[in-house]
Structure 1
Amino acid sequence: MNRPTMVSTGTDLLADAVAGQGLDVTRVEWRPPADGTAGDLVTVALDPLRRAANARALEAMLGVTATLVDVAPASEVLGLGPGEFLHAGPPITWDRASGPLRGALMGGAVLEGLVADPDDAVALFESGTSVSLEPCHHRGTVGPMAGVVTPGMWMFVLEDPATGRRTHCSLNEGLGKVLRYGAYGPGVLDRLRWMGDVLGPLLRTAVRSVRDAGDPIDVTAILTQMLQMGDEAHNRNRAGTLMLLRDLAPAMVGAGDRPSADVADALRFVGGNDHFFLNLAMPACKLALDAARDIEGSTAVVAMARNGTDFGIQVSGTGDEWFTGPAQTAEGLFLGDYGPADANPDIGDSAITETAGIGGFAMAGAPAIVRLVGGTVPDALATTRRMREITLGANPRWTVPVLEFAGVPTGIDVTKVCRTGILPQINTGMAGRVAGVGQVGAGLVTPPAEIFPAALAALAARARSRSGAGAGPPRS
């Protein structure tokens, strides 16, 4: 006689009782759809455009190759003028800005010579007469943590050779007391000035040399390799940074117009900064996701971003509209004597990595990441498996060896998030709540649940409008 088994769909009390009697229990993580989404789920599921639109969106994402083609000031490649600041996340004004975002803006104002003292920048931003704030995403750019970009900052420029589309990201400063975490002390500003005077121009010479030789650096290919080497390309970028240094170092050394001491300092800085490659992984992911934008009927998420106050998503089928909710505070590990009370809510555009299927979605391939963000190795494996339930497919180029080289889960589907109640998993650094503090830890976080039903409602409204169905079925 076959041994009886039981399948449990979330009723742990019953499952535990049966398991206690020696029977085999298969537990299935299942939750009812999010409250109030039933009608919208039906409408979107019946949308005749949805299936083909999502297939097109996924194909577009997977078809992009990101190559590093230039390094140049933001004034040159983004057209930023004096007093124009970019920031991470959805749109926000100074009066709602969090501590780390305010700190980064204050430091940026000093860096641009708008004020002599960071404290003087407060009145500048409060008045808003000679400065402006705009999301990085609105300029084809992504910024880690506070994500502040000023005209004088140097940017990586990535390009898809098949289409010529480009994305950008600033250069990575390292960890701890850095501008992107809201610090703005003299050491922070001195480092940024050195990056503008020495590192940026040296990298430009090297990148252009490699590009003009006909072999530009393939960032997508490096991502493929680093995922085989224990990186997940959000909070662990050690292998990626070393591969980038391998490809650029000969051209940096061969740059004849720079003193050897400058070259040595630059090589030492990049080699000692394990997160340097993050600022290439992010625009590579944005380049892929931007290819899937503006496909009518698609339920694919094309951006997840946080400004330290709000968490926002953008969806392929709803254009540039942001769906926002309150940013959550990560749970994880803290530096020194810092604790949960010191941490600001989640911040940064770096969740673009998870949106593309790496970072928290690829934690199974980077088990060492749990030593930074908390959790266990089984948690990391379970996370990657769980993310398959809310995505459109898998990326055959970016694979996880421990899961039989399965592709990373790719293409977050709004309908699947609402139907299952499973939220995207993000691993992240934590900035101090108070401006000027810097990094206080790292951990795990999810988006606010309510933003996905809001996006679903907008998708359903568009579907009803196209079909001429008016209000359609009730949403609850």
Structure 2
Amino acid sequence: MRQDRLGNLLSAQLSVVNLGLEAFAEPLRRKGVRVVQVDWKPPAGGDQKLAQAVMEMREKRGEAIEKANQEAVERILSARPTLVGIGQALLDVPGMGKRMILHAGPPVTWERMCGPLRGGVIGGILYEGWARNPEEAVELAVSGEISFEPCHHHQAVGPMAGIITPSMPVWILENKTFGNKAFATLNEGLGKVLRYGAYSKEVIEKLKWMEETLAPVLTKGLSLRGEVDMKSLISQALQMGDEGHNRNRGGTSLLFRELCSAMVQSDAKREEISQVLDFLHGNDHFFLNLTMASAKCSMDPSAGIEYSSLIYCMARNGTDFGIRVSGLGDRWYTAPAPMVQGLYLPGFSEEDAAPDMGDSAITETYGIGGFAMAAAPAIVKFVGGSAKDALTTTRRMSEITLAENNAYQIPYLDFRGTPTGIDLLKVVETGILPAINTGIAHKEPGIGMVGAGLVKPPAACFLDAAHDFIIKYL
């Protein structure tokens, strides 16, 4: 019997499970051997002292941490993000200055900005009329007359470059549970747009049209329609195949239904209403900025809770990737922004790509986006991978989160809630990094979007934060 089993084993097709470096698997694949790659990393990045310290932290402070994290999660789950209006950045965004430009990610100076972020700044200066051409815009940017600050420091978020200038119209969202607000610009669409670092004449003209036509028509419609419950819309969008970051067709369609009748009934000019409806119909990503602002105002109340290891913010600016941890206050923990692995538009390749950028990772921090990919199998056509990968990603994120969302559910997982509340200590213990899906900008300013894909944050910022968390609380 044993000999028969041994013969069957030797005659069966060989399969290999490879842990660690994928380079070890490639020679076997070339010889036709089936290889299963396991994405495994040692706990605490291989730092045994840190791993031991985390275990000690669990033993000595586990009860306090669990209680703090439970409070943080309850604040997230009880949030009620609501669209209440459209305003102007200078008048409505807290602390916005007349010569200020907000950008995505952690703080960064002009000297350290990546190409597309510089392109966004140039476009923002041209849009405001502070310069007559790109050359003058660069001179102004380096002069010190313009202040650059993160959107997150002003209760705001912005996709990709995340540029917000004083004259831009902004969505105003309020968390009805806690009374805090969040702000975001209106979405331009895909391709050659400001948030991807483009600043050509047509880019600026579209931004002006959004300020002078789109925002006023939407405002009139919203004033007739009244406030919009964003949590309900996002929940419905997940049932329609969105994940809330890179696929927003369902959410945009729902918003269209909410506002269309009210806009038509308003006293806006018929021609302008027609332009706005055509723009919304042709921009499947229009809902993204609203999703981001919803996530922002839902996450902010979870900040500043003593002993909480919840990560309440992830953002990147094309130079740095940064996180903020509830129990560590408003400090940024940063590491170099990684490159995105994905699909490219015709004529472009990874050689053209800028590093990861944008505040849109607030969606993953909130428990949607890459954490909800199982709800949106069609997203893989945009960012790469397979439908099975989407399911695997969502399941994997459950290993580093604190709860399942009670509002955002995934049909393909028997309506389980999305993994919500990234736990810094679980990230360190497991070596599993948050999954983010994102767009890709050209590395040079002025060109725009070149693709989309998936990205893993750098482990270093999580390890650095864990060191400080242990020093503070152990």
Letter in 2 for 1:428: T
TM-score (norm 2): 0.90
1:50-449 matches, within 5 Å, as: 50-78=65-93, 79-128=95-144, 130-211=145-226, 216-256=227-267, 258-449=268-459
Cα drift, residue 42 of structure 1: 3.0
Alpha-carbon distance between aligned partners in 2 of 1:339 and 1:368, rounded to the nearest angstrom: 22
Determine which structure has the larger helix proportion and give its number.
Answer: 2
Cα drift, residue 82 of structure 1: 2.1
Alpha-carbon distance between aligned partners in 2 of 1:182 and 1:43, rounded to the nearest angstrom: 46
Paired residues of 1:155 and 1:171 also in contact (CA < 8 A) = yes
Cα drift, residue 76 of structure 1: 1.2
Number of residue pairs the alignment of both structures matches: 442
SS of equivalent to 1:34:
helix
Alpha-carbon distance between aligned partners in 2 of 1:405 and 1:276, rounded to the nearest angstrom: 26
Cα drift, residue 123 of structure 1: 1.3
Shift >3 Å, 4+ stretches: 8-13, 27-33
Paired residues of 2:316 and 2:357 also in contact (CA < 8 A) = yes
Alpha-carbon distance between aligned partners in 2 of 1:320 and 1:87, rounded to the nearest angstrom: 17
Letter in 2 for 1:218: D
Letter in 2 for 1:90: P
- 1:22 — aligned with what? none
Letter in 1 for 2:67: A
CA offset digits 1:29-71 (Å, max 9, x no partner): 6743323322431343232421100000011100001110010
Letter in 1 for 2:397: M
SS of equivalent to 2:459:
coil
Paired residues of 1:199 and 1:266 also in contact (CA < 8 A) = yes
Alpha-carbon distance between aligned partners in 1 of 2:463 and 2:53, rounded to the nearest angstrom: 9
SS of equivalent to 2:45:
coil
SS of equivalent to 1:402:
helix
CA offset digits 1:338-368 (Å, max 9, x no partner): 0001000000000000111111111111000
Alignment gaps of 5+ in structure 1: 14-24, 465-476
SS of equivalent to 2:182:
strand
Cα drift, residue 10 of structure 1: 5.1
Alignment gaps of 5+ in structure 2: 6-16, 25-35
Cα drift, residue 164 of structure 1: 1.7
Paired residues of 1:330 and 1:445 also in contact (CA < 8 A) = yes
Identical residues among aligned pairs (%): 48
Paired residues of 1:44 and 1:459 also in contact (CA < 8 A) = no
TM-score (norm 1): 0.90
- 1:470 — aligned with what? none
SS of equivalent to 1:313:
strand
Residue number among 12, 20, 43 corresponding to 1:32 in the alignment = 43
Paired residues of 2:40 and 2:431 also in contact (CA < 8 A) = no
Alignment RMSD: 2.0
SS of equivalent to 1:232:
coil
